[in-house]
Structure 1
Amino acid sequence: MKHRFLAKRYWNTMTTPMGAVVDLAKQYSDVINLSLGDPDYVTNQEVIQRAFEDAENGHTHYTDSLGDEELRHEIIKYYEEAYEYKVGSKEVMAVVGACHGMYLALEAILDDGDEVIIPAPYFTPYIQQVELVRGKPVILDTYEEDGFQIDINRLKGLINHRTKAIIINTPNNPTGACFSKETLEAVGKVAKEFDLLIIADDIYDAFTFSDPFLPATTMKGMQERTITIGSFSKDYAMTGWRVGYVLAPDFIIQCMRDINEGICFTVPSISQRAAIYALRMRETIQPPMIAEYKKRMYYAYERINAIPNMSVLSPQGSFYLFVNIKKTGLNSVDFCKELLEEAHVLAIPGIAFGGCGEGYIRLACTVGVAALKEAFDRIEKMKVCCAHNLQ
């Protein structure tokens, strides 16, 4: 929107397909919303109760600007127990969700014009986050035929003297792909060869359905050049608490801390208390939730591949399916429009996640199997899905 009171750099900004879904969801009373990645689980009741008790007992003040010391201790303890990986107390910082952590990290490391390589399909805000701190996003396309793994030769071809970092997101939003150990090791080798940083967006680390999750920072020689973004939003159904963390070398954490002095100083104390209890109870909270999402994902996978003109790869992680709709003959925006108008099912067009996402839609399995069944029963009846040989 152009207005004399707005900064000129924002005059040409447009609402993305991701941003538009909130209004679209209100168009029909019976919409089945498979668009946004907000878990349908309510935060564990014991976590809520413990945080409430802590508030009553006086935890309503600012915490240390790096975060509640007890929370940071629990994060350090978690990485040691889960990965036999040691993190120093000055190498972890609580943040107001993963996006806040990503902003602080990018602001800390990028000079104007520095380039950040972003594998696509990508989490939509990455582009704006890099541009917000005056960096330049450089897109590395990945493809379904490669399992959405990173092609190392294409990665190397994008590196120049302005390249500063590579963002990796595994399990991936939107594709659900998990980067293999071989892919992660190869990316790490490139980072060492060209002296680059890795920014690992690990917010779906609990949602892996086959091989165990491997944090990039735990690989040999990677701790000194990896910034890990963690969150309680998905792994503990705590999206509204707005709490996450960053692991990074101490000088990066210190810079982030200084930047945050002028933004929000610290994370809400009550949210940090809740995160402490979530971490302590993770072996109780996570297994049934992950099992339920896995059940939903495989149910959706089977239903999708039984529908003409639609297909999807076998689930690997996250709670997203990146559905191939190329045989319908429609682009992703038009398909999602018909999906909403004809089936009253809301999804995100693949183009929202980068150019190579065209021909796909993203479905979030954040509703139960009964709702998924109703959604796919409706989709099966759509003309564009029943038609044959559209191409």
Structure 2
Amino acid sequence: MRYSSITDRLADLGSEKWALHIRARQMQATGTDIIQLTIGEPDMPPDPALLAEAQRAMNAGRYRYSNGRGEPSVVNALTARYAKRRPDVTAENVLCFPGTQTALFAVMLGLVEAGDGVLVGDPLYATYDGVIQSTGAHRVTVPLKPEHGFHMQAADLEKAVTPKCRVLLLNTPHNPTGAVLTAQEIADIGAVCRKHDLWIVCDEVYEELIFGGTFASPFDNLDLAERTIVVSSISKSHAAPGFRSGWAIGPADFASRLLPVSETMLFGVQPFIADMTAYALTHEIGTAAAMRTSYKARAERIVQGLSNVPGIVPLPPEAGMFILIDVAGTGLTGEAFAWMLLEDEHVAVMPGSSFGVEAASFVRVSLTVPDAVIDEACGRITRLAIRLLAPKERRA
């Protein structure tokens, strides 16, 4: 039987990048005690008020067909939220989706096609390749270097641009590195995008999980308004990933053109989830603040616990729910170290190679577990690193 080309383009871009995570879950299911530090699933529940609002909406009959653009409750809430950042925002700039991932997929479908190039920093979130290649476009890599704190450099972007490039997929705060771009860095990047007439799609899902300093976005720069689209959700900010509630905010013409694409895919999101999202966006909810405090402290705990371990270099993040650890000093790649850590020490972390070439010597560690588990994981990582280096020291 015949299949469309998208099945070939995405054949190696689904669960294969999460092979170690899947293996860890299998081991856990058979009784092995695994410390799971692979995925960014908040360890806090949603605020009880959000669950109560979702239940209230369901009981009120808010489970029927939805508006294709988004329910008025959440469209109005998003308009008010983003109008605080840029006063020209209206409901015509808003589209609602079931989560950031769906928003990214639809946005890319509306901006690029076969033969086009999408610029993206490397390291990159593991699903970006899929949303790019699903359209027939190809990834054009911009290296994000540790010596720059994994912050994208305008000069590196300029070098990477080709005549085929149509979009820069930007991620700040960044997954997996936790880097947060400054306003000046964004202005410099934006100048390159204006020069080459590039769209900027900015994934800002970790906006509320910055450990210090000020959040900056190309969306807030009026000089970039005509070319910037923000995607985000309540998955991280409100510890509600399973509710699948996200959005895209961009130029009115973009939203108008993408609306039929969205309606063909989805025709709206669940009204009761929209009402819960509107509540989340219009009320003071302390979830993000609590997570910021917790994740920052846990990152510092890992840095303190591993800084003096031979062969191991933890890199403090500026935001988010992960920390990268450079394991090159052990003599192994991040992939080999992660698998050995799982099989020998029963700690599951993500190999850096799942996030690109520039992260090949790293592993990504989730901060979404209690302090005692963090401490135990650091002890097991230390044990493996010492064991790996001991034979070399004896030979010396």
TM over 0.5: yes
Are the aligned partners of 1:113 and 1:135 in contact in 2 as well (CA < 8 Å)? yes
Equivalent position of 1:347 in the other structure: 349
Equivalent position of 2:76 in the other structure: 73
Separation in 1 of the partners of 2:96 and 2:24? 34
Separation in 1 of the partners of 2:110 and 2:165? 15
1:17 maps to amino acid: K
How big is the shift at 1:84? 5.3
Separation in 2 of the partners of 1:281 and 1:372? 32
Equivalent position of 2:125 in the other structure: 123
What are the superposed Cα offsets for residues 317-353 of structure 1, whole Å, 9 maximum, x if unpaired? 1111111000011111110111111221101101111
Separation in 1 of the partners of 2:268 and 2:225? 25
How big is the shift at 1:300? 1.7
Residue 48 of structure 2 is aligned to residue 45 of structure 1: yes
Separation in 2 of the partners of 1:92 and 1:25? 38
Q: Aligned in 2, Cα 1:214/1:11: closer, same or farther, shift over 3 Å?
A: closer
Partner secondary structure for residue 312 of structure 1: strand
Partner secondary structure for residue 69 of structure 2: coil
Deviating above 4 A after TM superposition, structure 1's stretches of 4 or more consecutive aligned residues are 5-9, 383-386, 388-391
How big is the shift at 1:155? 1.2
Matches within 5 A, 1:220-259: 220-259=222-261
**Paired-residue identity, %:** 22
Residue 196 of structure 2 is aligned to residue 194 of structure 1: yes
Matches within 5 A, 1:200-211: 200-211=202-213
Are the aligned partners of 1:380 and 1:386 in contact in 2 as well (CA < 8 Å)? no
Equivalent position of 1:17 in the other structure: 17
Separation in 2 of the partners of 1:365 and 1:127? 24
1:68 maps to amino acid: E
Q: Aligned in 2, Cα 1:167/1:9: closer, same or farther, shift over 3 Å?
A: closer
Matches within 5 A, 1:271-310: 271-310=273-312
The range that moved more, 271-280 or 236-245, is 271-280
Separation in 2 of the partners of 1:85 and 1:23? 48
Equivalent position of 2:99 in the other structure: 97
What are the superposed Cα offsets for residues 233-258 of structure 1, whole Å, 9 maximum, x if unpaired? 00110100001010011121122210
How big is the shift at 1:387? 2.2
Equivalent position of 2:36 in the other structure: 33
Separation in 2 of the partners of 1:282 and 1:292? 19
Are the aligned partners of 2:6 and 2:134 in contact in 1 as well (CA < 8 Å)? no
Are the aligned partners of 1:152 and 1:187 in contact in 2 as well (CA < 8 Å)? yes
Separation in 2 of the partners of 1:330 and 1:277? 48
How big is the shift at 1:161? 2.3
Are the aligned partners of 1:25 and 1:346 in contact in 2 as well (CA < 8 Å)? no
2:204 maps to amino acid: D
Separation in 2 of the partners of 1:384 and 1:224? 53
Are the aligned partners of 2:219 and 2:225 in contact in 1 as well (CA < 8 Å)? yes
Unaligned runs of 5+ in 1: none
Partner secondary structure for residue 50 of structure 1: helix
Are the aligned partners of 2:209 and 2:289 in contact in 1 as well (CA < 8 Å)? no
The range that moved more, 10-19 or 108-117, is 10-19
2:108 maps to amino acid: L
Partner secondary structure for residue 139 of structure 1: strand
Q: With structure 2 as the length reference, what TM-score do the two structures score?
A: 0.93
How big is the shift at 1:222? 1.2
Q: Aligned in 2, Cα 1:9/1:292: closer, same or farther, shift over 3 Å?
A: closer
Separation in 1 of the partners of 2:197 and 2:343? 50
Separation in 2 of the partners of 1:304 and 1:244? 36
How big is the shift at 1:23? 3.4
Tell me which of 313, 316, 319 is aligned to 2:315.
313
Equivalent position of 1:63 in the other structure: 66
Separation in 1 of the partners of 2:272 and 2:173? 28
Equivalent position of 1:144 in the other structure: 146
Q: Aligned in 2, Cα 1:384/1:128: closer, same or farther, shift over 3 Å?
A: farther
Partner secondary structure for residue 223 of structure 2: coil
Are the aligned partners of 1:16 and 1:352 in contact in 2 as well (CA < 8 Å)? no
How big is the shift at 1:285? 3.1
- Please provide the CA RMSD for this pair: 1.9
1:80 maps to amino acid: A
Are the aligned partners of 2:181 and 2:216 in contact in 1 as well (CA < 8 Å)? no
Are the aligned partners of 1:336 and 1:346 in contact in 2 as well (CA < 8 Å)? yes
Partner secondary structure for residue 231 of structure 2: strand
Separation in 2 of the partners of 1:88 and 1:104? 20
Residue 218 of structure 2 is aligned to residue 216 of structure 1: yes
What are the superposed Cα offsets for residues 196-235 of structure 1, whole Å, 9 maximum, x if unpaired? 1111000000011121111221013111110100111001
1:10 maps to amino acid: T
What are the superposed Cα offsets for residues 244-277 of structure 1, whole Å, 9 maximum, x if unpaired? 0100111211222101222111112222111111
Separation in 1 of the partners of 2:197 and 2:96? 27
Partner secondary structure for residue 200 of structure 2: strand
How big is the shift at 1:281? 2.7
Partner secondary structure for residue 168 of structure 2: strand
Are the aligned partners of 2:20 and 2:339 in contact in 1 as well (CA < 8 Å)? no
- Size of the aligned set, in residue pairs, is 387
Q: Aligned in 2, Cα 1:378/1:250: closer, same or farther, shift over 3 Å?
A: same
Separation in 2 of the partners of 1:127 and 1:326? 25
1:187 maps to amino acid: I
Unaligned runs of 5+ in 2: none
Are the aligned partners of 1:17 and 1:348 in contact in 2 as well (CA < 8 Å)? no
1:307 maps to amino acid: V
Q: Aligned in 2, Cα 1:335/1:60: closer, same or farther, shift over 3 Å?
A: same
Matches within 5 A, 1:156-175: 156-175=158-177
Are the aligned partners of 2:24 and 2:34 in contact in 1 as well (CA < 8 Å)? no
